[in-house]
Structure 1
Amino acid sequence: MVAVTVEQHQATATPLVVAHRGASDEEAEHTLRAYRKAFAHGADGVECDVRLTADHHLVCVHDRRVERTSNGAGVVSTLELARLEELDWASWKTRPEDLEAPDSDPERARLLTLRRLLATIVEEGGEPIVLVETKHPTRHGDDVEKTLVQVLRSFDLDRGDRPGRPRVRVMSFSARALQRVHKLSPQVPLVHLVSAKGPSLPLDGTLPKGVGVVGLDIALVRRKPKLVRKFRKHGHGVFVWTVDETADLDLCRELGVDVVITNRPRRAIDRFAAGG
């Protein structure tokens, strides 16, 4: 259970650790096994990307196409859920121990839907952080956010933070996507993602209306560490992604960011616990 407020940490607070696509350095990303391992390590929360299938199901897949993370081919938005569920989503990251016991975990290679991920998290209880990123551009347009809000509503997760419930935040690089979520469900906290490769908003510490948190690329934080203070001065929370290296973990702690999003949650937790 998260014992402190997600956003608005004091500058001296240790950042919370959110597992990027689960414990994705150890397990195949966006699989239930990766998320369970992240929580077993003690992560404060998890992050996932969602895309809409041809028959309007939200699935946890980062790429527009399926080739990198499955044994299939094609564009996620043009394939139906049943076809995607036929694919193997983990063999690309097979380890020697998995070859020794291929039948030990039937969930290992299974496609993960957002509904299944949320159901698992809700069932476990507590107040973990759940960051959901909508991917754009997409042929489905605003149907992504409409469907996402419907799914959150079905789990009673669209009314902001409440005791004993997961703490959901919707993230996107698209300000328009975030505004759609805000219009449909104004109590859901929002995170505007900013990449070092091409910032999509002014880096003056301000955020679009209704957005309370910025999600900064670690490359941008390395280059412009004063950005953290700028956003804080405007009352905004600061999340940083993807923070895997020890020096970057130390920098985030020194700057007092609220959340680090990492592929290696165990390393981050151990580093922060050691204090060195």
Structure 2
Amino acid sequence: MNILKNLIIVFLIFIGGCSTTSHSSIKGSGKTENPPIANYTPLIIAHRGASDLEPEHTVLSYKRAIKDKTDFIEIDLRQTKDGELVAIHDKDVERTTNGKGKVQDLTLSQLKKLNAGKDQKIMTIEEIIKEFGLSTNYYIETREDNNGNLVMEQKLIDILNKYKLITKHKVVLQSFSEKSLKKLHSINKNIPLMRLLGDEEVESLTSDTLKNIKKYAYAVGPNAKLVDESFVKKVHAANLKIHVFFDAENERKLTKEMLGLKVDGLFTNNPFYTLDELKQQKTG
């Protein structure tokens, strides 16, 4: 993967705090034609790590993803009762651990006693960064708490600054919450942001909506099952990138189709599989 090329593109879009820079400043024109397949290098983003192969959001999952040459490891964040930012997707711990209860009602100490699979522990974002440092890139999802409050944005940026991940262009932040992304953008306009889209938002997406998103983000993230050629063209016409995610049951069915549409990035539960599919398309 041409990781450096993709990171340079992200950097150029956001350098100088200008998240509204058009693709013409990168490619030399405002055109949005699909590139030749040989030059097609979408971002491969390991969804909760290589979560199809190892317990999600664990050291094992992230190590496998990095070994399989993913461009980014993806991390969902929630805040604990005592204000720590931990890597876990669900509101509660039942699906991914042997415990019970909502994450925001449990302390970090309580969460650390749980088994997240294969004797792995729930990790804080800082522990993940300490583990992998600058050896990988981070695609981090923020969210509102269970009561709709913003609780993590400043804390997260402070951690990212502490480890120089922003100045080293090692991080992209994403959220379904426009409120969260706008807060992040107000704190630091140089961070690449991606606006995740709910299914209903994809189905009702307008050019005006995309223009508003472009004011603070450089990409949108729809469910791949709702993406077709016309949708890709609409997003690219707004000078936004498109990074698709999959429902677990249809990832393999849709990966080849998304690569054929030349989306700009794919969240995958198995980076090795996705990279192999990309290689096959390039070699015919």
Structure 1 residues 207 and 226: alpha-carbon distance in aligned structure 2, compared to 1, 3 A threshold: farther
In the alignment, structure 1 residue 65 sits paired with structure 2 residue 115: no
Deviations 1:203-254 (A, max 9, x none): 4343422111111111211xx4311111111111111102763442222222
Deviates more, 1:27-36 or 1:129-138: 129-138
Query: Secondary structure at 1:232's aligned position in 2?
Result: helix
Q: For residue 55 of structure 1, what is the aligned residue in structure 2?
A: 82
Q: For residue 173 of structure 1, what is the aligned residue in structure 2?
A: 176
Q: For residue 251 of structure 2, what is the aligned residue in structure 1?
A: 245
In the alignment, structure 1 residue 5 sits paired with structure 2 residue 11: no
Superposition TM-score, scaled by structure 2 size:
0.81
Query: Secondary structure at 1:36's aligned position in 2?
Result: helix
Q: For residue 33 of structure 1, what is the aligned residue in structure 2?
A: 60
d(CA) in 2 for partners of 1:202 and 1:193? 12
Q: For residue 145 of structure 1, what is the aligned residue in structure 2?
A: 153
> AA paired with 2:243?
F
Query: Secondary structure at 2:89's aligned position in 1?
Result: coil
In the alignment, structure 1 residue 122 sits paired with structure 2 residue 133: yes
Superposition TM-score, scaled by structure 1 size:
0.83
Query: Secondary structure at 2:277's aligned position in 1?
Result: helix
Gapped runs of 5+ residues in structure 2? 11-22, 28-32
Runs of 4+ in 1 over 4 A off after TM superposition: 6-10, 197-201
Count residues in correspondence: 250
d(CA) in 1 for partners of 2:203 and 2:90? 20
Checking the alignment, whether the CA contact within 8 Å between 1:160 and 1:187 is kept in structure 2 is: no
In the alignment, structure 1 residue 135 sits paired with structure 2 residue 143: yes
Query: Secondary structure at 2:278's aligned position in 1?
Result: helix
Alignment of 1:94-133 (within 5 A): 108-122=119-133, 125=135, 128-133=136-141
Return the offset for 1:199: 4.4
d(CA) in 2 for partners of 1:26 and 1:119? 23
Gapped runs of 5+ residues in structure 1? 92-107
Structure 1 residues 160 and 42: alpha-carbon distance in aligned structure 2, compared to 1, 3 A threshold: closer
Higher helix share: 2
Checking the alignment, whether the CA contact within 8 Å between 1:194 and 1:201 is kept in structure 2 is: no
d(CA) in 1 for partners of 2:88 and 2:203? 23
